[in-house]
């Protein structure tokens, strides 16, 4: 992994301090296309460089497959595809953000990792109440105000709500 990616995570996440207070209101931001998105660092395990992904049959198109990360099989979701954006070739800035959601590890492919920002609760507003074309809730948990900018905060649980993804991760966790 590029040391810059690991440094962002180590320094900003306070990996040596497991206190929930040090993680409150902190988000790891990354780019997908021209837009910046954030995930609460309480869900982030690590950032790794892109590696070989083994395809798994009968998965949704945005599930690229699985990786073996130090003996753990982790499903990988391409967030570009999950958000119905155009697919693009991966490059040296593309990486996988490994998250833990309800004790299941899941990796998200992102275009590039940016930074960790603390956004006070009073600077986060609820997203507009829109539903997707199929009536599902969207993936945005809030909109963070940072200076003159608005940062999109994602709800990782909604991103992985597809039962086939969750089941794949849970089956792998049960085997261990």
The reported pLDDT for the residue numbered 27 is: 95
The reported pLDDT for the residue numbered 55 is: 94
Do residues 144 and 88 lie in contact, with contact meaning Cβ atoms separated by under 8 Å?
Answer: no
pLDDT greater at residue 158 or residue 78: 78
Domain count, the chain: 1
- 160-164 long-range contacts (CB < 8 A, ≥24 apart) are 160/77, 160/101, 160/104, 160/106, 161/136, 162/60, 162/63, 164/58, 164/59, 164/60, 164/63
Segment 48-78, tens digit of pLDDT: 999 999 999 988 999 999 999 999 999 999 9
Segment 15-57, tens digit of pLDDT: 444 555 677 899 999 999 999 999 999 999 999 999 999 999 9
Do residues 119 and 151 lie in contact, with contact meaning Cβ atoms separated by under 8 Å?
Answer: yes
The reported pLDDT for the residue numbered 131 is: 57
Least confident span in 9-13, 17-21, 111-115:
9-13
The reported pLDDT for the residue numbered 3 is: 45
Write out the residue range of the structural domain in which residue 42 sits. 3-175
User: Stretch 90-95: mean pLDDT, rounded?
Assistant: 95
CATH number of the domain within which 83 lies: 2.40.50.180
CB proximity list for 72: less than 8 A, separation 6 or greater = 105, 172, 176
């Amino acid at each position: 992994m590029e040391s810059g990616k690991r440094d962002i995570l180590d320094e900003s996440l306070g990996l040596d301090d497991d206190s929930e207070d040090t993680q409150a209101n902190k988000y790891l931001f990354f780019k997908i296309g021209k837009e910046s998105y954030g995930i609460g660092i309480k869900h982030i395990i690590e950032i790794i460089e892109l590696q070989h992904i083994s395809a798994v049959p009968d998965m949704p198109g945005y599930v690229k497959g699985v990786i073996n990360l130090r003996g753990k099989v982790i499903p990988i979701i391409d967030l570009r595809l999950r958000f119905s954006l155009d697919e693009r070739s991966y490059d040296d800035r593309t990486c996988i953000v490994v998250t833990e959601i309800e004790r299941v590890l899941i990796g998200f492919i992102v275009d590039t990792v940016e930074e960790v920002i603390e956004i006070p609760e009073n600077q986060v507003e609820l997203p507009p109440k829109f539903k997707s074309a199929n009536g599902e809730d969207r993936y945005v948990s809030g909109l963070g105000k940072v200076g003159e900018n608005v940062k999109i905060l994602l709800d990782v649980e909604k991103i992985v709500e597809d039962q086939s993804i969750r089941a794949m991760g849970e089956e792998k966790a049960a085997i261990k």
